[in-house]
Amino acid sequence: MTTLRKPRWWRGRTAVIGIPYVWLLAFFLAPFLIVFKYSLAEMGAVTVQDVMTVADGVVKLTLKYSNYNFIVSDDLYFKAYVSSVKYAAITTFCCLFIGYPFAYFMARARATLQPTLLMMVMLPFWTSFLLRVYAWKGLLDEGGWVANALTALHLDHLLLAGGMIEALDKYMHTPFSLVVGMTYTYLPFMILPLYANLAKLDLRLLEAAADLGATPWVAFWKITVPLSKAGIIAGSMLVFIPCVGEFVTPELLGGPQTLMIGRVIWDEFFSNNDWPIASTVAVVLVLLIVVPLAIFNKYQAEAQERKS
Amino acid sequence: MSRAVFGTRFAAGFGKSWLLAGFLFLYLPMVTLIVYSFNKSPLPSIWGGFTLEWYGKLASDQEILSGLWLSLKIAFWSATLSVIFGTMAAFALVKYKRFFGRTFFSGMVNAPLVMPEVIQGLSLLLMLVAIQRAVGFPERGFMTILLGHMVLGLAYGSVVISARLQELNPQLEEAAMDLGAKPWQVFYLVTLPMITQSLASAWLLTFSLSLDDVVTSAFLSGPGATTMPLVIFSRARLGMSPSVNAIATVTIVVVAVCVTVASILVARAERRRALEISAAQRDDS
């Protein structure tokens, strides 16, 4: 036999790979290309004008790059991008600060207790996030429990000094309420990868460090933290990237100072009905997050290949 | 050993208090909503007395009830189709080591996990509008929202299922093939029973994600197709609303019961499986 016959299971394999592949190409990738096309188009009276028109034997291609000029020149968009990245970074840091010790002590708890702890962390995640963000409106509003507690503890002076609130005893629609809301929403996304990573930590390494004379504090920074780097990166990406484009939390809890790019896209699309500008803003946002996206994808691919 | 791990009794106490504070932070808003839903006064800061009237009003709230029905329908189909596609994608990534554009495919599968929803919603809507102008289908509504939820569901589903597929012992499937089973028989008789639990877990996850989705649904919905989260969102924007508190309490209670029951069942199944495996090993030796 001179030709190589394809094995009998070839058709099944093509289907299993092909069906999701084609589906994703059609409903995930193609939309991005369309957004890019719209970002180069002009808004007509009712709908977007065609980029390519064929009439009288002439193919006319109209690429309006002035949308991009507009985005770059107008201060509003630049401020929104900067503000989005800033608050996403603050949220990521807060989640890491709260979540790392949380995940660490969860992983060190009694083995029989850990599934229960895990379930208790997951339960808020399964409950509607919209409702939980909405709950913070009640907690931070005038007379809300958390607002009263913060004022009673005079923490509002501290927040005012840090620029997180505008006036004493007014916590709603401030950077503070936004960060609290986003940290709250994304905390499980940080805890779970960290826990998965820390639970696999070989405790004998810490024993060895103690035998060699390291204090627990030193052992933590020299052994535990470097080994949990993968979990830290995964958790941080899972928090940072979606936070940059967040819409619901800034809309419910944010205020005039906390302009986020998600709201800009929403307003351009729904209020201004300006699809090309909304598309342009979206394209620039994707470019902004492409580096963290690549890092995240690399981590995911490694995680999926590691065991096999 | 605990000396090396915890260091001191201080660290152990610190750990317990951090966990306690963390859980308090996570659960306080949910408890608050439950308390507010029984408050006679619509203002959260004033306690007006215990009442069930908001729940009574909820039962006759047409907007919420029709939104709930639509959300449940979409969530059911989104979860089912996401699990099917997600299993295929997970198989492709875990079992088949090399195929054309593997990295690219892996990127497309994982990206919806983190991609901001405004981008996903906007892009999908623009494309569906372009398709609709060309062929007249689909109308903005059930179908479009379903497609949007499926993109997200596929990503989450494939993460859950591929995690389970990696744990499986490949020798079991190889043994089946040695005994003459065709690939689809291997899948149906050997692989599928072993991943059933994670299929159920992926279904529940994508179901709750679809039920809860706001931004993608907002972009993709049309007249007459308002999902429950969109109804809640429009009311929440205006301020604290007792009807939202009531629906929130119902949601929280239902989810809490389901998650607890599911965890107990899973724990029981795990214990039974471990017993069966150790019993089988004892029989061998």
Among A155, A102, A146, smallest CA distance to B20 is for A102
Chain B residue numbers touching A300 (CB-CB < 8 A): 106, 110, 113
pLDDT of A273 higher than 50: yes
Q: What is the mean pLDDT of residues A206-232?
A: 87
Q: How confident is the model at residue A84 (pLDDT cuts 50, 70, 90)?
A: very high
Shortest CA gap B232–chain A (Å): 8
Are both A42 and A160 inside the same structural domain?
A: no
Q: Is residue A66 part of a domain?
A: no
B195 to chain A, any CB pair closer than 8 A? The answer is no
- At A308 the pLDDT is 44
> In whole angstroms, what is the distance from residue A21 CA to residue B201 CA?
23
Q: What is the ipTM of this complex?
A: 0.84
More confident residue, B173 or A247: A247
Task: Mean pLDDT check: name the lowest of A9-23, A223-237, B1-15.
Answer: B1-15
pLDDT of A78 higher than 70: yes
> In whole angstroms, what is the distance from residue A170 CA to residue A164 CA?
11
Cα torsion angle, B211, B213, B218, B219, sign = negative
Are both A189 and A51 inside the same structural domain?
A: no
Tell me the percentage of chain A whose pLDDT exceeds 70.
93
pLDDT of A269 higher than 70: yes
Are both A194 and A45 inside the same structural domain?
A: no
**Which among A127, A188, A265 has the least Cβ separation from residue B118?**
A265
Secondary structure class of A302 (helix, strand, coil): helix
- At B152 the pLDDT is 92
**Between helices A129-140 and B228-238, what is the axis angle to 10°?**
10
Are both A164 and A240 inside the same structural domain?
A: yes
**Which among B4, B122, B233 has the least Cβ separation from residue A130?**
B233
Chain B residue numbers touching A30 (CB-CB < 8 A): 127
> In whole angstroms, what is the distance from residue B12 CA to residue B2 CA?
9
The rounded mean pLDDT for chain A is 84
Residue pointed to by tokens 């996030």: A129
Secondary structure class of B39 (helix, strand, coil): strand
Q: Name the residue ranges covered by the structural domains of chain B.
A: 63-240
**Does B63-240 carry CATH code 1.10.3720.10?**
yes
Shortest CA gap B49–chain A (Å): 17
A39 token code pair: 């970002």
The distance from CA A209 to its chain's CA centroid, rounded to whole angstroms, is 36
Q: What is the pLDDT along chain B (285 residues), one digit of tens a residue?
A: 455 455 566 777 888 888 899 999 989 888 888 888 888 777 767 777 788 888 888 888 888 888 889 999 999 999 999 999 999 999 888 887 777 788 888 888 888 888 898 999 999 998 888 888 888 777 778 889 999 999 999 999 998 898 888 888 888 888 888 888 888 888 888 888 888 888 988 998 899 899 889 999 999 988 888 899 998 898 888 877 788 888 888 888 888 888 888 888 888 887 888 888 888 888 765
Pairs of CB atoms within 8 A across A/B: 266
Q: Are A139 and A146 in contact (CB under 8 A)?
A: yes
Q: How many domains does chain A have?
A: 2
- At A195 the pLDDT is 92
Q: Is residue A41 part of a domain?
A: yes
Q: Are B194 and B168 in contact (CB under 8 A)?
A: yes
Shortest CA gap A76–chain B (Å): 18
Are both A171 and A282 inside the same structural domain?
A: yes
- At A44 the pLDDT is 66
- At A166 the pLDDT is 74
pLDDT digit string, tens, across residues A89-145: 999 999 999 999 999 988 888 888 888 888 888 888 888 888 888 888 888 887 788
Q: What is the mean pLDDT of residues A280-302?
A: 85
Q: Is residue A231 part of a domain?
A: yes
Are both A148 and A29 inside the same structural domain?
A: no
Q: What is the mean pLDDT of residues A229-251?
A: 91
Are both A110 and A254 inside the same structural domain?
A: yes
Q: What pTM was estimated for this model as a whole?
A: 0.87
Are both A187 and A273 inside the same structural domain?
A: yes
Q: Is residue A159 part of a domain?
A: yes
Tell me the percentage of chain A whose pLDDT exceeds 90.
18
Are both A123 and A239 inside the same structural domain?
A: yes
Q: Are B148 and B225 in contact (CB under 8 A)?
A: no
pLDDT of A259 higher than 70: yes
Residue of A nearest to B42 (CA): A138
Residue pointed to by tokens 């919420």: B64
User: What domain range includes position A145?
Assistant: 75-306
Are both A244 and A291 inside the same structural domain?
A: yes
- At B1 the pLDDT is 44
More confident residue, A93 or A48: A93
pLDDT of A46 higher than 70: no
B13 token code pair: 């106490």
Q: What is the mean pLDDT of residues A30-52?
A: 78
pLDDT of A32 higher than 80: yes
Q: What is the DSSP string of A27-76?
A: IIIHHHHHHHHHHTS-B-SSSBPPSEEEETTEEEE---THHHHHHHH-HH
Element (H, E) at A261: helix A261-266
Among B250, B228, B45, B22, smallest CA distance to A137 is for B45
Secondary structure class of B50 (helix, strand, coil): strand
